[in-house]
Amino acid sequence: AFDETGKIWFNGEFVNWKDANIHVLSHVVHYGSSVFEGIRCYNTKKGSAILRLREHVERLFNSGKIYRMEIPYTVDEICDAIIETVKVNNLKDCYIRPIAFRGYRELGVYPLNCPMDTVIAAWEWGKYLGDDAIENGVDIGVSTWRRMAPNTLPNMAKAGANYMNSQLAKMESVSNGFDEAIMLDYHGTVSEGSGENIFLVKDGELYTPHASLSLLSGITRDSIAKLAQDMGIKVNEEAIPREMLYLADEIFMTGTAAEVTPVRSVDGIKIGNGKRGEITEKLQTKFFNIVGGVEEDEHGWLTFIE
């Protein structure tokens, strides 16, 4: 839940939570013109640390570049501002949401006359798909909504407007009794969830859809792929047909919010034995040990706050 006594970084200054407002005629409100990030800070054994901070901030700037948004700060300045936001709010374990958007001036679709606003907020946010999900897994359903084709909305940008597509898929899946949606891409092969990437385990190897065409190439996806390689588990990036989901030995989803969440069924079909799989558990444990400071951060993923 939000702690409304907190401070929000708003165009370079900290303001009170309730004063972090924009005008209703801001461009972003009407046309979804924003780019944003989701980042986690973990309360590790050695103090609070932000996971893969620089990669997230670089992706924010890349998202901005795709939409010709000039974020009027450097990557270093935004990294520092994120650290300050966590500190000012005395947070240890939190979710951080930096967002840059087209602000208030005029309302033509043409965006380049509107100013850019940049905001960073942070709050405590537990397990995205529920406390139980990390251990027992979630039930997902293939959505009738497809992920955007590459020449419609660019999937490499983490842009607000993309989440209208995500919302359609998520609402449909929840109304059908599932916890999360999995979308197919414009070819009809597996793409991603409403806010997560997907991995399958088959005969001891990992499979995940190729990054470049129809999905957000997640930073957690990258972390898991690296950890798998460290553990000698082969990672195959390839086109995945829907039915390969049903035949997988194990499935899990990855994301900053969802972390590493096992999938126990797809479209009501049990995956493997319907419980968290062995390889899923191994990767999950490794991931949580690293972000928790229990195991050595060999890849240098943690930025300590103090």
- Could you tell me how far CA 289 lies from the centroid of its own chain? 20
Torsional class of 68: left (φ above 0), alpha (ψ -120 to 50), beta (otherwise) = left
Q: Is 117 one of the binding residues for ligand PMP (CB under 6 A)?
A: no
18 is an active site residue: no
Q: How far is the CB of 208 from ligand PMP (least distance, A)?
A: 11
115 or 154, CB closer to ligand PMP?
154
C-alpha Rg value of the chain to the nearest Å: 19
Q: Is 34 one of the binding residues for ligand PMP (CB under 6 A)?
A: no
Choose the catalytic residue: 7, 158, 170, 286: 158
Q: What string marks each residue from 48 to 87 as x (binds ligand PMP by CB under 6 A) or -?
A: ----------------------------------------
Residues in the chain: 306
115 or 160, CB closer to ligand PMP?
160
One of 196, 200, 266, 271 touching ligand PMP (CB under 6 A): 196
One of 98, 255, 262, 293 touching ligand PMP (CB under 6 A): 255
By CB atoms closer than 10 A (0-12, 13-18, 19+), residue 216 is: buried
Instruction: Give the torsion through C-alpha atoms of 24, 29, 35, 41, to 10 deg.
Output: 60
Q: Is 256 one of the binding residues for ligand PMP (CB under 6 A)?
A: yes
Residue 268 is given by DSSP the state: T
Residue whose Cβ sits closest to ligand PMP: 218
Q: Are 127 and 134 in contact (CB under 8 A)?
A: yes
25 or 164, CB closer to ligand PMP?
164
185 or 192, CB closer to ligand PMP?
192
201 or 219, CB closer to ligand PMP?
219
Scanning 19-27, 81-89, 137-145, 219-227 for contacts with ligand PMP by CB under 6 A, the matching segment is 219-227
Q: Is 173 one of the binding residues for ligand PMP (CB under 6 A)?
A: no
Q: Which pair of tokens denotes residue 199? A: 């991995």
Write the CA distances from 117 to 84, 104, 201, 213, 246, integer angstroms: 18, 9, 42, 29, 44
Q: How far apart are CA 87 and CA 89, in angstroms?
A: 5
Q: Is 218 one of the binding residues for ligand PMP (CB under 6 A)?
A: yes
CB atoms within 10 A of CB 247: 12
Q: How far apart are CA 177 and CA 129, in angstroms?
A: 14
Q: Is 280 one of the binding residues for ligand PMP (CB under 6 A)?
A: no
Q: Is 272 one of the binding residues for ligand PMP (CB under 6 A)?
A: no
Scanning 194-202, 240-248, 281-289, 296-304 for contacts with ligand PMP by CB under 6 A, the matching segment is 194-202
Q: Is 195 one of the binding residues for ligand PMP (CB under 6 A)?
A: yes
Q: Is 219 one of the binding residues for ligand PMP (CB under 6 A)?
A: yes
β-strands 13-16, 7-10 pairing: antiparallel
* Matching residue, tokens 């062995």: 278
Active site residues: 158
Residues of this chain that bind ligand PMP (CB under 6 A): 38, 166, 192, 195-197, 216, 218-221, 254-256
